[in-house]
Structure 1
């Protein structure tokens, strides 16, 4: 099991949902969802299809505006704040299916990740150099087109690109999707390492429930738009009733 850092349970949350409701037309996708992500905490969202986990992630990033309720970053209401402002406030995204720029080199992909901060190219280049030290496999491939990397290497690049904006919280959507079993283990180790070495908070949507619980501090289980279970990840993983009813070996 990957090792992660501890966190202060009494710390003020970086990200907070307070009774958030989201509609898609007449259909209610989230029903008064409340959750917190504190500094240094890994929080998993687990659930089946149409459970609301991806909608929760998109709402956190500002891609969806709630019908009601409040989203806060560092205690400040950002419910109707656009995605760029949330990134500037310390959030970053590692999207589903990685979405690297295949025709650009690894180095160019990293520079794109830092442009939101509107810093000089020399500053961004220096930050990319620091990340190459943190991700030596990417350093070996810095001049290679991203589209020629393996799936696991592209996921590493997506992580590094997100770090270019110096976030305090990274939202990860299905980071192991489509990867071989070998790279699944490597990606989970990398997530735990980012948390442990950089103190990053992480909100993760993961289809493989057992894997997500193995690296998380806490977990929330949404069902049809409501959080029906929450608690310490280790407790949920060890509860037979929870596993049978909500988790199983994999959650699509």
Structure 2
């Protein structure tokens, strides 16, 4: 096997949640690490009876690293682990209940922070000399904070925990040994969605509310290029959380999350 062929067959791609990225392996390496940074346009909307209740728009940022370990036989099976931290502050345009119990328009800020992890198992197939197909499957987890009315008079924090199983596929076309273009698609299926927050209503003891929004698949896609171990990826995510159950007279409306952005990473081999 020539050095160029080895490097071509070893290109690895990984996309996540918030936050995913691309990985690569080159001659003589069995383990790679790809640190990366990303910026995304973030949108969160809530609906009831097909009418939008609120909208949050803004930019979020993330930092993370993806690692790949090739298993035996080499160049065929691998495992990948990706960890990321995301954060950002977005504009909130919605409403709140006034002193008379009526809904009134309200604008504020919402701060987000999130931890995400994904463990994948995959295989690299080569149906043509310049074409690679990489199916993957694995387990992921998301844990994020949604700080509503950030630093405002009505501030409170929602916490979300979402474990999931997922699978996807990656396509790579090799232009030259160190130049490739690729596309990815991945679908996550939440095992559960746990949402919790604590409210201190005037004249009452604080209450902890635990909700379980309905689970729907989360869709991710990306397209990118690799130039001499530098990766540039354009990504998109779409996810709908269904209406939750009711607890202490509270419920989570149908919520729609969309993200698109760009990430840059660099592959290190060991």
TM-score (norm 1): 0.23
Structure with the larger strand share = 2
Q: Normalized against structure 2, the TM-score is what?
A: 0.22
More helix by proportion, 1 or 2?
1
Q: Which has the larger radius of gyration?
A: 2
Greater relative CO (CA pairs within 8 A, separation 6+): 1
